[in-house]
Structure 1
């Protein structure tokens, strides 16, 4: 396997901005002399967490939440941004309490993932959340989230469920199932 040198960044410009995102244009020169312009979301420096909560009764806890990108309600695992000064674990517990009304005494990190590394730098840490206890915090969602219990024994069927289509949730589920088999 050859080790390639990263391209040289010749210029970075902001080309579009919204309330949430800034799009940057990067002029790059690769080690073979080829120059290209790439676009990406400007790195925010904020990462996120997603948790696969499992009850003592053997149920997965999911949330049904409106997704503006697909213009429909999607079924997925609790997730959210890490606030400044929070650890991944602290953010995971806060988001669990906000979205499903439970905290976790046991959080097992599974993997840190990137959604689309060609365009985004933000990372998400995936966790299995176990030994749950009841505790509710006020969240920032515009409407109450529907909490859906799904039997762990039928977890593989969830992968083909029509409303369960987010790649990060599917990845988290498959990694959680692999972890639980150990």
Structure 2
């Protein structure tokens, strides 16, 4: 097992803010390297996000939407960014209902992970939604979503076709596979 050591820690010497937007900010840090030299690090700051593996009648709820950065439609699990100071579990419940119309009677944490630690600090919290009941969807004004419940086999096929190609949804499908095999998650 690797030991934590400060010998490889990079110390920030200077931070230059580059951009601050509605969702992210970008900064360039000058860091002192362990051997004494310096380097620059481009860092995207993000408030974090919550995502939901929602299963109903043996199927997974998904949303399909156009993703401009990739210039294609993408199938994903319901998810969204955290509001300032928002609890990730509350954000997961909010996003599930806003995007799909379903409410979770129970939410269980599955995992939390950094989406792109080489350049971003976004941490995503993944939850399992149980005891679903229909509420009313209310997507954001600029969100245009198609909601569907898909089978495990469809999810696997969509991964092969790269219609599902984001890490959170692929991780959710693998968690679902473990749940199907073991009854536990």
Partner of 1:91: 91
Structure-2 separation of matches of 1:20 and 1:85: 14
Partner of 1:49: 50
TM-score calculated relative to the size of structure 2: 0.86
Partner of 2:4: 3
TM-score calculated relative to the size of structure 1: 0.87
Partner of 1:113: 113
Structure-1 separation of matches of 2:23 and 2:75: 23
Give the secondary-structure state (helix, strand or coil) at the position aligned to 1:163.
coil
Kept in 1: contact 2:100–2:137 (CA 8 A): no
Give a deviation string over 1:10-52, Cα, whole Å, max 9, x none.
11112345554432111111222232111111x34x2210111
- Selected match of 1:34 from 4, 20, 37: 37
Structure 2, unaligned stretches of length 5 or more?
none
Q: CA deviation at 1:127?
A: 1.1
Partner of 1:136: 136
Kept in 2: contact 1:60–1:149 (CA 8 A): yes
Q: CA deviation at 1:141?
A: 4.4
Give the secondary-structure state (helix, strand or coil) at the position aligned to 1:106.
strand
Structure 1, unaligned stretches of length 5 or more?
none
Partner of 1:124: 124
Give the secondary-structure state (helix, strand or coil) at the position aligned to 2:160.
coil
Q: CA RMSD of the aligned region, Å? A: 2.0
Give a deviation string over 1:47-99, Cα, whole Å, max 9, x none.
210111100x2111101111011112111100011223432221111111111
Structure-2 separation of matches of 1:145 and 1:23: 28
Kept in 2: contact 1:66–1:74 (CA 8 A): yes
User: 1:20/1:128 Cα in 2 relative to 1: closer, same or farther (>3 Å)?
Assistant: closer
Number of positions where the alignment pairs a residue of Structure 1 with one of Structure 2 = 179
Give a deviation string over 1:126-151, Cα, whole Å, max 9, x none.
11112100111422143541112211
Partner of 2:145: 145
